[in-house]
Structure 1
């Protein structure tokens, strides 16, 4: 009977709460209906209806929470063995100080107002953000910021989501403050609010920065023509844009985690690591940018002068890669020292140990030192330059790069020879001062030599007219050689060395052969066919004279 009595008390309490909230709901509807008759509120019917709907939702929410609290509280009392719930509840309420009741009522009143304000702001937030988005899109169209235009809607959706959550967290924190929660509880609510603020703003800043970077990328490509200084610099730095975005993302996330960890005092010591990681990422990004800028500046200073001679250009093309490599290593070295300083590591002992280690390695790596010394001599004694056609050992082709340790040579067939500078002993350079294109012309003994000389003279004139690298007319000083089957006329064409994958002498030799073949065909001179002379000895006459023309047959 006692349990049934207690249950009936619980239902009675729930019924009383329900009646109270029904009365409140009726009073609320009556107040809003009366407000429609007020002249100064006739133009705000839609806003009043919205407030009425919000108020109904708040009342329903409070009724649900209060009913659950009554049920849970009475179940706890029944489980603990209380026999008279009304008496115990009455005594409990009588023992509650009046100040606490005032605090609860005041907190409920303030919380209700905060909820109404939050819902109202949330309702008006959407049109406000849409208007702001329209303004941003109009500016993006005007400034031709395509990425900003494309990502505006996504950004505003995320901004609305995070801003709404921030409003509810602020409401929760203020409610706890007005309900006079213990300092520990308020501290946890504050950590939750500030932590979410840091995360939300970090995500929004990252998305906005990414859109701005992409838009600036498109802006530079659309507004600056190829060949301009800005376009030339940016085209060489463009490949760093994805790397820069990844570094920016890492910096924002590391900073976000650092700030959130810093809110928790028990692990504040770990927050210093985040600051060091941010500095590390910034140093890596700056070193990459400085390397690219240093290489571009060296190219601008060394290679863009139009008044240089061909030899000076080749020398600068040879030295520029070395200076670029040296600047790159210097920047890496400086970045390494900076990183050590960020992590509070004294670089002096490390540099001293590295010097001793380098000395030990240098004493043992004689081949390395030999290659580097030979590389310096090749550069400063001007044995060959980048673009020269050389031959050394089994390698021949155009010099692509001269480094401190190796030389790269591109063969006309495409393969690359990488040769240690210390192994280069003899060099044949086809690109110094001048070079001869030598072509041997076989002719038959029956050919008219004077007629061929005239044809070669005409070929020489045509060759000089069409090829500016030809310095002098073709030199052909008589017959070079007699063979049993033909005669040979050697032609020599003096050429100005130019950069050519095959070597200019090899290319002009092919041109001369083509021109001579075409001239011979036009003059009706037949090609020289292979011949073999066979002499037969008669068995009847062993004393036959093999030198008589009558006794020979030509096949």
Structure 2
């Protein structure tokens, strides 16, 4: 079909008609058989390339992940010597290695996919400018990564440690380049950016101290109460292997408004202080009941004045 058989006079009279003819001619050329075939071939090639790249990188990511896990599982003794000789350090480095591998695979995948649609030389020029902009804009990300390396190599805490970070108390489940994941006591996962980590309390790196303040009534015999507590301390030390040393009765800690407070401390294995505190309180209550030592509780005393009567 040819739109050029119209006379030049008609085209001069109606410019819109001329534009319509030009547009129709372009549409005709676009749908020419050779150009249409070339377009379909290019689009099909790029779609197939994208699918192949995704499949290849998925296989590589899975193979690398399995190899890292097998390396840490097989060479446990060697890795523990390199990382400090502890299981917790080995788990931390394994988590970090998997995190770095995941970041690397994802970055390569994105660059490879973009290179399918953009020439490599243009991509390199654009990525250079892009990384310069990112370097200025992503200061927080760089702070997170830097702090992540400090956490790992200074051994502030490791995977499996029970820690308290800025009011969040729980077990560390993962340490990454940018964030730390903590499972709190209620089961939720709290994600804390590494750059925001301030005060850290690690309960897993040293023995714990079970500290108890026991209140007795002012009417009770202090010396008898201390003897009873010493007996409880000996019984608990014989019963629980997690108590490393015989609990000590430090004496009167405070003369409170309605009670005398006696302090007891016990050195225990890491993370066992809360369990031992609960067990000691149970044993103390039973012993106090047997020896008639009163544990004070809130009381109300009412005085009534009779007026105008003989009674």
CA distance in 2, matches of 1:298, 1:516: 50
Structure 1 residue 441 displacement after superposition: 0.6
**8 Å contact 2:69–2:94 — kept in the other structure?**
no
CA distance in 2, matches of 1:345, 1:306: 43
CA distance in 1, matches of 2:298, 2:132: 67
Confirm or deny that 1:409 pairs with 2:182: yes
Tell me the equivalent position of 2:100.
Answer: 326
Q: Which has the higher strand share?
A: 2
Tell me the equivalent position of 1:294.
Answer: 67
Any idea what SS the aligned residue of 1:525 has? Answer: coil
CA distance in 1, matches of 2:259, 2:230: 21
Confirm or deny that 1:377 pairs with 2:165: no
Structure 1 residue 487 displacement after superposition: 0.4
Larger gyration radius, structure 1 or structure 2: 1
CA distance in 2, matches of 1:528, 1:509: 19
CA distance in 2, matches of 1:531, 1:430: 38
CA distance in 2, matches of 1:369, 1:493: 43
Confirm or deny that 1:396 pairs with 2:164: no
Confirm or deny that 1:482 pairs with 2:255: yes
Q: Indicate how the Cα distance of structure 1 residues 301 and 483 shifts in structure 2: closer, same or farther if over 3 A, else same.
A: same
Tell me the equivalent position of 1:508.
Answer: 276
Q: Indicate how the Cα distance of structure 1 residues 507 and 412 shifts in structure 2: closer, same or farther if over 3 A, else same.
A: farther
Q: Which has the higher helix share?
A: 1
RMSD: 3.8
Structure 1 residue 477 displacement after superposition: 1.2
**8 Å contact 1:298–1:320 — kept in the other structure?**
no
- Of stretches 455-464 and 317-326 in structure 1, the one that deviates more from structure 2 is 455-464
Any idea what SS the aligned residue of 2:246 has? Answer: coil
CA distance in 2, matches of 1:339, 1:361: 20
Tell me the equivalent position of 1:457.
Answer: 230
**8 Å contact 1:392–1:426 — kept in the other structure?**
yes
Give 5+ residue unaligned stretches, structure 2.
1-36
Structure 1 residue 282 displacement after superposition: 4.6
Q: Indicate how the Cα distance of structure 1 residues 430 and 394 shifts in structure 2: closer, same or farther if over 3 A, else same.
A: same
Task: Give a deviation string over 1:394-441, Cα, whole Å, max 9, x none.
Answer: 322222222222222332233333222222222233233222111111
- The alignment's TM-score, normalised by the length of structure 1, stands at 0.42
- Report 1 or 2 for greater relative contact order, CA contacts < 8 Å, sequence distance ≥ 6: 2
Task: Give a deviation string over 1:474-506, Cα, whole Å, max 9, x none.
Answer: 1211111112311011111112214xxxxx322
Confirm or deny that 1:446 pairs with 2:214: no
Equivalent position to 1:366, from 108, 124, 139: 139
Task: Give a deviation string over 1:95-135, Cα, whole Å, max 9, x none.
Answer: xxxxxxxxxxxxxxxxxxxxxxxxxxxxxxxxxxxxxxxxx
Tell me the equivalent position of 1:553.
Answer: none
**8 Å contact 1:318–1:401 — kept in the other structure?**
yes
**8 Å contact 1:485–1:532 — kept in the other structure?**
no
Q: Indicate how the Cα distance of structure 1 residues 336 and 441 shifts in structure 2: closer, same or farther if over 3 A, else same.
A: same
Tell me the equivalent position of 1:519.
Answer: 287
Any idea what SS the aligned residue of 1:478 has? Answer: strand
- 1:191-270 to 2 correspondences below 5 Å: 270=41
Confirm or deny that 1:497 pairs with 2:265: no
Aligned length, in residue pairs:
267
Q: Indicate how the Cα distance of structure 1 residues 292 and 497 shifts in structure 2: closer, same or farther if over 3 A, else same.
A: same
- The alignment's TM-score, normalised by the length of structure 2, stands at 0.70
- 1:177-192 to 2 correspondences below 5 Å: none
Task: Give a deviation string over 1:378-409, Cα, whole Å, max 9, x none.
Answer: 22222222233332333222222222222223
